[in-house]
Amino acid sequence: MVGKRNIRRTFAAVLFPSIIALACLSAWKSPSALAQDLTSRKSECSNVENPPVLKEIKMISGTYSADAIQKKIEGLVVVCITVDAHGKVTKASAISGPPELLQSSIDAAKQWEFEPPAKPPVNTKMEMRYNMTGVCPDGGSDAGEITADIRPDLQGGRADALKILGSDFRPLPDYPERARSQRRRGQLYLSLVVNPDGTVTDVAVVKSLDELLDRLALEKVRTWKFNVSPGGKATRFFLTLSYRIPCFDRQ
């Protein structure tokens, strides 16, 4: 009896550590396994040598994590995305980039939207560049600002032209982190028609600044509404939107 008991104890002493070791091995990935995972993700972007042309509808930038801010991480993240027939991103994975920025980039990419591709689904790669903010030479914030200047088209001396008496609703376009961190700035020129009821129609780009900023400006200006003089006819106005980062654009 004592001999059998010792055999069981010896068997248990060998078996349990073996189970634990197998569990650890199954959870741990060797460097070669990690390399295979990365190769697998890259292979999903099989047509990256001739990437399809995708027109952006909605693009969201990744955000800095507390760890990335503390370490002052900057750099380029490349993500592989799959776009379906509706222009939605159904899958996103990081191919390369600083580890602290990968998950944020994936989360952002999953929210992107494009015009429906001609031959879905489409696999392609996109780049997201990260630059730390708050890097003004004088140590101040590098937050951007937008100013708007609107003037009427008075060619021909139209006596029936509307006059803008005030703004009922005129929110400025967004200055997204992606554009601001890449120092995209300058002036965007638009034209718009103000109707007798104060609404805005026929908004068009006269001089482009940036594809992303142009699109956001068009979307926002179309929502504007003015308080106008009575009795006038629809009148075309010209709008200048100035995108500035004060510490880099001292006047």
Give tens-digit pLDDT for 225-239: 999 999 889 999 999
Phi and psi at residue 89, in whole multiples of 5°?
A: -85, 115
Same domain, 151 and 240: yes
Domain end: 99, 130, 161, which one? 130
Q: Residue 165: which of 240, 225, 239, 236 has the closest Cα?
A: 225
Residue 249: its pLDDT value, please?
Answer: 72
Question: Residue 89: what residue type?
Answer: V
Residue 222: its pLDDT value, please?
Answer: 94
Q: Which residues contact 17 (CB under 8 A, 6 or more apart)?
A: none
Q: Residue 117: which of 170, 57, 190 has the closest Cα?
A: 57
Across residues 63-71, what is the average pLDDT?
Answer: 75
**In-domain check, residue 221:** yes
Same domain, 41 and 125: yes
pLDDT digits (tens, 9 = 90+) for 124-180: 888 887 766 555 655 555 667 899 999 987 665 677 888 999 888 888 998 887 777
233 to 20, 162, 194, 230: CA distances (angstroms): 82, 6, 9, 9
Same domain, 104 and 165: no
How many structural domains is the chain composed of?
2
Same domain, 168 and 221: yes
Where helices occur in 84-182 by DSSP H, the ranges are 99-109, 177-181
Phi and psi at residue 232, in whole multiples of 5°?
A: -85, 165
Q: Residue 77: which of 61, 94, 57 has the closest Cα?
A: 94
Residue 2: its pLDDT value, please?
Answer: 45
Same domain, 110 and 187: no
**In-domain check, residue 236:** yes
CATH code of the domain in which 209 resides: 3.30.2420.10
Range of the domain at 98: 36-130
Domain end: 82, 106, 130, which one? 130
